[in-house]
Amino acid sequence: MTRRAMSRTASALLLASCLALAGSAAAQIYRWVDNEGVTHLSSEKPPPGVKAERIEIPGTSKRASSTASRSSGSAGSTSAPASPAQVAQREELLGSLRTRECVVALEALERKTSGAEPTGAAEIRRLKQTAELNCSQDPVRRREQEAMAAKLRVANSPACVAARNQLADLMAPGAAVNRDQLRTQQAFVDEHCTSPIR
């Protein structure tokens, strides 16, 4: 079986198991950082004793507590099973959060390995592990994530920082500027200096 087929099978099994789960856990995402600084995102609870942020999906049971940092060993509240729509919403949010972690890790990895910033082997290893854990295995989706990382590098560049500062100066109260100049600067920032992730 190929890696892609195994990934699809695993994804199908994961979705099927998610649909079978009951309680608010089926509609939650857990986020935690391990001892090496690697960010993990999962629909399953982290190992016992690991502090994790629990991200609840909007529209899930009101009896479940709000997003909070809790130990995975704490008792959860009982609530109605997640609907297929909630499970799908959770999977979409989980994918979005993983893409964000992937893009941030790829951008930082490129910046730090290019010599633009001093770094150590432990930091490089952490970024590689975070990217490996959160980036897509699908080649098409991975290229999209790499393109987003490249756009994030540009958005974080000194040229874009200066462009955003100039736009802020143009928009400051009392600034004597014509509308065309303001529109031109805004268009430049929108086109070149907007982060692809939030």
Report pLDDT for 79: 55
Domain ranges of the chain: 21-155, 158-192
Cα gap 42→95, rounded to integer Å: 10
CA 109 to centroid of chain Cα atoms: 16
The tens digit of pLDDT for each residue in 113-146 reads 887 778 888 999 999 999 999 999 999 999 999 9
Tally of helices (H runs) and strands (E runs) in the chain = 6, 4
Which amino acid appears at position 177 of this protein?
Answer: V
The pTM assigned to this predicted structure is 0.63
State the CB neighbour count (10 A cutoff) for residue 163.
18
Averaged pLDDT score across all residues of the chain? 77
Query: Where does 4-50 show beta strands of DSSP type E?
Result: 28-33, 39-42
Identify the bridge partners of residue 41 per DSSP, sorted by sequence position: 31
What is residue 36's three-state secondary structure? coil
| Residues with pLDDT less than 50, the chain | 1-25, 61-78
Which tokens belong to 117? 């910033």
Report pLDDT for 34: 86
State the CB neighbour count (10 A cutoff) for residue 27.
27
